[in-house]
Amino acid sequence: MGQKRRIMKIIALISVSLLGIVWFASKQGQEMKTEIHLIPKGFIGVVTIIHSQSGEIGATKNDSVYHIPNNGILLTQKPLKAKIKDIKYYYGDRQNPLEYVWDFKSKERTNNDTIYVYGGSTGTYGQNGKEVDCTTYIVGTLNDLDSLSNALNKIKPLELIKK
């Protein structure tokens, strides 16, 4: 009886593994969806995108272009999805791409006068029993980085919804 049970477990394990491999292989052919973030020309500051908001605001659920307003705060109907995506950042229009720098410590690679998109995070912010999904990142030069990092740390997304 023990031998039969062991064989059944092995068959089940192999079946689940094969299903996983087939599912993974089927996803390999799919293209990664590209998001476009259009940042206003002249904007230096923290961008905050607050997801899953109701009403006629910002990008709609099916829109892959985020038009960041002059104040850097975008309320959007689009839900936050935990997928890997290709994000392209533009300054003013699609003719002016911005370079994305993930690691703040890579400052030595950057030119002091060039405007970059730095760091950023995506996740759920909670306060007083309420939660909101948001994306944040910094737009500025190397010289702006310290002050904007401090500003980023002070942002409370739930308070931005009330304004």
The answer on pLDDT for 21 being more than 60 is no
CA distance 86 to 158: 27
pTM of the complete model:
0.73
The answer on pLDDT for 127 being more than 90 is no
Q: Quick one: pLDDT at residue 16?
A: 57
CA distance 100 to 47: 13
Q: Enter the tokens of residue 150.
A: 């401090």
The mean pLDDT value for 15-26 works out to 55
- Under 8 Å between Cβ of 54 and 72: no
Q: Quick one: pLDDT at residue 83?
A: 67
Tell how many helices (H) and how many strands (E) occur in the chain: 3, 8
Strand partners, 139: 45, 117
Position 154 confidence tier, pLDDT thresholds 50, 70, 90:
confident
